[in-house]
Amino acid sequence: MFFDLAGRKVVVAGDGLAADRRAETARSAGANVVRLAATATAADFRGAAAAFIATGTLEGDTALQRAAKAAGVPVNVADRPALCDFILPAIVDRDGVVVAISTGGASPTLASILRGRIEAALPERIGALAKLAKTFRAQANALIPDPARRRGFWRRLVEGPAARLALAGDEAGARRVALGELDAVRRRLSPVGIAHIVGAGPGDPDLLTLRAAQLLQEADAILHDELVPAAILGRARRDAELVSVGKRAGGKERGSAGWAQAEIEAELVRRVLAGQTVVRLKAGDPFIFGRGGEEVDALRAAGLPVSVVPGITAALACAASAGIPLTHRRFASAVTFVTGHGAEGREAAWPALAAQVGEKGGHTIAIYMGATEASAVRDRLLDAGMDPATPVAIVENGTRPDERVSVGQLSDLARLAAIHTRGEAGPSLIIVGEVAGLAAAAGQPLLAEVS
């Protein structure tokens, strides 16, 4: 039972922490809280919606419990389940969406552990979703007389594109989509779906964001890069359609299974128009060397709903995994993410970057897609005057079971990179700058023996 206490008299008898907490809880539910001493009588309880008793002694609790019962008021006695008419559940309260957990008084600790798990599983903005539903409640119930269609509308509202936008913080967008859907149901049109451009992180499934994991469970179809490993695709809903669009590291090659960027965008639009919830799953973060921006543009141009879910980008993941702080009070006050593909071209800003690395305060360069062009990268940096002894690290398959890290000097970069580009090599990230010398692989082992 969720009991409305707004404006009602609620008695709290006794003092101490337990009584204070209960008074606070009742007050936050809008109750008119009356504090009583341990000597209260039945008359003091009369007219109350509920009574909380916490005197600390069995005699005190029992006497007050009797007084409250005599006045016909439901009672809760702190830590004495046998004397309670009702108990206080552990609650998760997200802006009015409330989950209550009870173990029947058996174990408050278990209840609080469960609360923690539910907290983690519930989207942070679930309250905004409830608010959205409330906004449309009267209107939808009036406009859709058929109960089955109405149920369909509500399910879609709380699970579909409008919900996703509300959960992502775009309340205006959510209302717009919901209005469109209401109109479509009324006119018996089939509503459109939604695309989520989702970062899958570096490869370790534990490094997915909570939202990415939720969306993998909701998607009708998942269009994924070649770089996204099976361990992550395994988190998808069982009957989700998995489509490899086959873009490899670098995104340039178009193998037999590879799709051109325009083909991927057209496929996203086609599926969303057909009503699907589509996840476009990209390695790392979709907006870091991921062409996520172009896909968002294509969907927006078609007037279709789209959300973007960030992911842990390779530079952050590889640095963490190898024990390299990208900034460091002593060694680096800035970091730049750059693609190695520009190393051959004239336009790349390598000279300026190289100069910054040597500057006072220091600078770190994280180079994506650079392993196959390592000699060009090294030449650009040396030409620009960088010290050949500058530490470099290469992290291959960062955060995955087959991660390999090499550490050396800039002058060695091409030789080091050769190790990570032979045969079945995975994606590699190069880190240049003093901090690369702090890599775990360069110093002590991460695990110390305890004697």
- Distance of closest approach, residue 230 Cβ to ligand SAH, in angstroms: 14
Catalytic residue among 225, 239, 252, 285: 225
Give the residue nearest to ligand SAH (CB): 284
Report the b/e string of 169-207 with b at 16+ CB within 10 A. Answer: ebbebbbebbebbbeebeeeeebbbbbbbbbbbbbbbeb
Our answer to whether residue 225 is catalytic in this structure is yes
Please give the residues from 94 up to 123 whose contact with ligand SAH meets the rule CB under 6 A: none
3-state SS of the chain: helix, strand, coil percent to 5? 45, 20, 40
Contact between 429 and ligand SAH by CB under 6 A: the answer reads yes
- Distance of closest approach, residue 111 Cβ to ligand SAH, in angstroms: 39
Please give the residues from 174 up to 233 whose contact with ligand SAH meets the rule CB under 6 A: 202-203, 227
Taking the CA atoms of the chain, what radius of gyration do you get in angstroms? 30
- Distance of closest approach, residue 287 Cβ to ligand SAH, in angstroms: 8
Catalytic residue among 247, 252, 360, 379: 247
Give 375's Cβ-side CA count (13 Å radius).
3
- Distance of closest approach, residue 424 Cβ to ligand SAH, in angstroms: 14
Please give the residues from 23 up to 82 whose contact with ligand SAH meets the rule CB under 6 A: none
Secondary structure E strands in 228-387:
241-244, 277-282, 306-309, 335-339, 364-368
Secondary structure E strands in 269-415:
277-282, 306-309, 335-339, 364-368, 391-396, 404-409
Contact between 90 and ligand SAH by CB under 6 A: the answer reads no
- Distance of closest approach, residue 267 Cβ to ligand SAH, in angstroms: 19
Contact between 314 and ligand SAH by CB under 6 A: the answer reads yes
Binding mask 280-309 for ligand SAH (x = CB under 6 A): --xxxx--xxx-------------------
Which residue lies nearer to ligand SAH by CB, 251 or 391? 251
Binding-site member from 48, 192, 212, 249 for ligand SAH (CB under 6 A): 249
- Label residue 143 exposed, middle or buried (CB < 10 Å: 0-12, 13-18, 19+): middle
Which residues face 32 on adjacent strands?
A: 9
122 vs 98, 137, 199, CA distance in Å? 11, 22, 20
Give the rounded distance of the alpha carbon of 336 from its chain centre. 24
Our answer to whether residue 247 is catalytic in this structure is yes
So which residues are the catalytic ones? 225, 247
Q: Which residues of the shown chain bind ligand SAH in the complex (CB under 6 A)?
A: 202-203, 227, 249-250, 282-285, 288-290, 313-314, 318, 368-369, 395, 397-400, 427-429
